[in-house]
Amino acid sequence: MKKSVYVVFGLLTMCSVALAQPKSAGADEAALRGLEEKWDAANLKGDAAALGAILADTFISTNAEGKTRTKAELLAELKSGTIKFQTSKVEDMKVFLYGDAAVVNGKWTGKFMLKGKPVDTVERFTDTFVRQNGQWRAVASQGSAIK
């Protein structure tokens, strides 16, 4: 009888731990998906302030051609109109959580003007996020063209 009580107590403890983890993971996954959508919206609106809130100060981006840009460079391009987005859409997202770090992988389709030249691209991307002061911030982004 005593052994049965311990087994039941152990099973209840394991179930409560298992149920608690997905809620937190689910909230984090939803938050990260939401940030990716806000990123797209900020690009389309040319909203450097909104984009700046998503990117960590140490953010680094590597584009499909291998060029890197910092947060300051990306925001300056958006503010100056060097880059103007016509479409920006993320799909096929997968979110991988690692405590206070996360990786989001997906497909990005974009049309934009870069220094007056039209760009139409479809890319696979990998964005890396870190939780800083309770908020998710993008610290790195890598894009690879799909041909």
Strands 117-132 and 135-145: antiparallel
Specify the CATH number for the domain of residue 19: 3.10.450.50
What whole-number distance in Å separates Cα of residue 1 and Cα of residue 32?
A: 47
Tens of pLDDT, residue by residue over 27-40, are 999 999 999 999 99
145 contacts: CB under 8 Å, gap ≥ 6: 64, 121, 122, 123
**If pLDDT is split at 50, 70 and 90, which confidence band does 13 have?**
very low
pTM above the 0.95 mark?
A: no
> What is the per-residue pLDDT for 124?
97
pLDDT higher than threshold 70 for residue 93: yes
Whether residue 137 contacts residue 130, with contact meaning beta carbons closer than 8 Å, is answered with yes
pLDDT higher than threshold 70 for residue 58: yes
Number of domains in the chain: 1
Q: Could you list the residue range(s) of the whole structural domain that residue 62 is in? A: 2-145
